[in-house]
A and B are shown apart, each in its own frame.
Chain A
């Protein structure tokens, strides 16, 4: 998606990312969570929106990253920050390797079978972690304490997630301009035809999913440390929260667009935080209503809707080519 004012928008978001933790210091934890959600939505959209492979189980990679990071921090015996970095990288590596392995098996399935298979993977991972003593079984694990006063931890994670979100955004913006991005779109539009034109569709699909997995592994690794506890079903393989949110945020903003997942995550997170304070006990019920409502009444998302409402404001899609 190419908005004419895109550079301006990027600048505004970057300024917000840098300034927010100091403008509203009481909300640092929520700000960190916001950027983490932005990354989740962006990475979900690589396969979901751009390639047409809707995953319900990307939470698998998030959870693997979370567990791997905390285990590395527990067992390797490094100081906090080197341990965290090593843990995140190891987690991302394992997540990516899993994506290659599982992806080459299940990305051959079309459409909803892929979606259901990924759902199964995400839940199975949670169940396995919940029974595995090495991972603390049902009671989970605790990451090491952040070596500084409590407020600074949230500041650190707010900037960590913001930096990562910005990096992912820029990389994806570049990726979607390459012919690889076009190949993903071609698979989404007509996979058989893409094969008939000589594209290695299987390789591209696995690559796309692996990219998402790697980034989600990083996010998971940091998230475990930020939340302060790793629980098999509530934080790590949290299919009913993070797992479905990332799908929802991408759809809400507009699947298959660069800005859609970002926009969706911001709106979703703010709405959710508002609900949290006003609907004591009933927040999750309300979230269920929101999920159903968005899917039923607003499946094209904000940007999809805007594009049909004001087609003139959008230039012809010029992905992957310079303007003449």
Chain B
């Protein structure tokens, strides 16, 4: 571990390499986190199945490549398929738990997460899958730093997807209805907004967002039925750190997390990278709670 830190000091290009890789995957984390914040803010549901949506988007794209379709089509196809899956899950499960105790919705989405993991495992098997995009690699700084063109494309794709979503929320009627509902569901209902449809659309849009992100993940990185949960936890941490409805915060926290994770993976060893994510989660929650202790709610 100390040797790895020393190595970083001796080889600054390694720092650049880790930073670049971290920021590029961080953009994808930020997209998933933005979707989680959307569902959390509008419906008051912490969506534990977030990461499985990402994985599912990746597997759908992988399936397209098996059928000989270019994985680039995976981005729109996964988004559309996931939209309908999300909206159906909302109809069957989420709408029945959304207004209950938050633990119930937490447990229900955790159950969905296990269900989707097992379904994906059953359909696509327990192997790591990737979809070849056919893009190459750039070598920079005298071959000391490598940049996968697909990772750059994925990062750009993530930014584009986020941009489309923000435009959609600002400009479209549905987007405005979603934002109105987030601010005050009762007032929205009085104004004639069908909040149940808004909730279904919100949940579907979040799933679509994750699906598109998953398509990028399978091209630039890889997917596996059981590695969705880390994506959920990353999204959750980013939202906690940035706060709901803080877009710049989500972007900064997402990129920061990507970089932090890459450095931690290098220093601690790659086998501890996931452990780092989950311990970071606990640390962030502990810090948050001790900050809140100072200005906590009191009874009326």
Contacts and interface: CB of A to CB of B under 8 A. Distances in A.
**A and B touching (C-beta < 8 Å)?**
yes
A56 interface: yes
Interface string A265-286: 0000000000000000110110
A113 interface: yes
Contacts of A288: 111-112, 114-119
Interface class of chain A by DSSP: helix
B142 to A, nearest CB: 34
Contacts of B293: 108
B32 to A, nearest CB: 16
B128 interface: no
Interface stretch (B162-170, B190-198, B202-210, B280-288): B280-288
Contacts, number: 121
A292 to B, nearest CB: 4
Nearest to A193: B299
A112 B112 CA distance: 17
A29 B78 CA distance: 44
A131 B1 CA distance: 14
B285 A117 contact: yes
Interface string A9-37: 00000000000000000000000000000
A131 B271 contact: yes
Interface residues on A, range: 35 or more
Contacts of A115: 103, 106
A56 B110 CA distance: 10
B58 to A, nearest CB: 19
A1 interface: no
Given A124-B282, A288-B111, A296-B108, A240 B289 contact: no
Given A123-B278, A127-B274, A112 B122 contact: no
A299 B46 CA distance: 18
Interface residues of B, number: 43
A131 B278 contact: no
A115 B93 CA distance: 20
A76 interface: no
Interface of B: 46, 93, 96-97, 100, 102-104, 106-108, 110-112, 114-119, 121-122, 229, 233, 236, 269, 271-272, 274-275, 278-279, 281-282, 285-286, 288-290, 293, 297-299
Interface of A: 54, 56, 105-106, 108-109, 111-113, 115-117, 119-121, 123-124, 127-128, 130-131, 137-138, 192-193, 196, 240, 244, 247, 251, 281-282, 284-285, 287-289, 291-292, 295-297, 299
Given A108-B293, A127-B274, A288-B111, 6 more contacts: A54-B107, A120-B281, A124-B282, A138-B271, A192-B299, A251-B107
